[in-house]
Amino acid sequence: MGIVNVTPDSFSDGGRFLRADAAVAHALALAGEGADIVDVGGESTRPGAEPVTVEEELRRVLPVIEGIAEASASLPTRPQISIDTSKAQVAAAALAAGASLVNDVSAFRADPEMAAVVAGAEADCCLMHMLGEPRTMQDDPRYGDVVNEVREFLQERLAFALDAGVQRERIMLDPGIGFGKSERHNLELLRRLDELVALGRPVVIGTSRKGFLGRIVDREAPRAEPAAPAERLAGTIATNVLALERGARVFRVHEVAPLREALAVATATLAGRWTESRGARTRTTQTS
């Protein structure tokens, strides 16, 4: 899953793809590198981010989704378009414009209409765990057992989505690395990821360029300046390969090509499990 941030304030590439033509070109480049999904977001969810209005979010994302849908129509393999939003109105408009997956960091909690929109469109969705909201989620997050609490949350949201009419095979689950978690919490989730995989739905991992990776690297190899987001590729690769070994099947990243190469090598070692899963995923997408 390649990341397309259409925002001025995302933590690692805010503003680079704010123009629709730049965002479309970036999405197509990610698809050319092997992204099966391009995830378009018009509202930053970085720690401390301020919300934007429905109108502003629509203004940012709709031309991009329409542009990707039109430009990718002639590609041999079209990427699935995902809308990264917690607003039902934005999701509905994005689905009408060419998206077919809703990536909701609130897991259908922020907008009471979201589940109905996804179910009615027979769209795919990703339900993510987040403690609090982006503005406050990193203010001293605490858990008794982070893995147990995240698993119970995802199990409850999965049941909620099913009750709302979303088909089980269309639901993915995301533990929300970095969303209301300390470095210790993130690492514990990665270590025990198999306990979330046991819920029976594809697990999405989003560690790309996140701050805890930089902090780990900076401790091991102190430098004059802390590692910037774009300098966290090695840590991103390491966490995604570990997540693959523990059962993750969808990897949300900024740099697609090096991640695909790393996952291909890891997959060959792990008897082709990711390849098999990707084949099943592709068949599901094509029937939607």
Of 201, 209, 252, 281, which is the active-site residue? Answer: 252
**Cα–Cα dist 129/106, whole Å:** 7
87 is catalytic: no
181 is catalytic: no
Strands (E), the chain: 2-5, 37-41, 80-84, 101-104, 124-128, 171-174, 204-205, 250-251
- Identify the CA nearest to 79 among candidates 68, 89, 90, 67: 68
Over 35-71, what HEC string results? Answer: CCEEEEECCCCCCCCCCCCHHHHHHHHHHHHHHHHHH
**Cα–Cα dist 45/105, whole Å:** 8
> To 10 degrees, the CA torsion angle through 6, 11, 13, 17?
10
Cβ-based neighbour number of residue 105 at 10 Å: 24
Of 151, 192, 210, 232, which is the active-site residue? Answer: 210
- Identify the CA nearest to 123 among candidates 64, 70, 165, 75: 165
**Cα–Cα dist 31/267, whole Å:** 20
Residue-wise burial string across 166-193, b where 16 or more C-beta atoms lie within 10 A, e elsewhere? bbeebbbbbbbbbbbbbeebbbbbbebb
Residues forming the active site: 210, 252
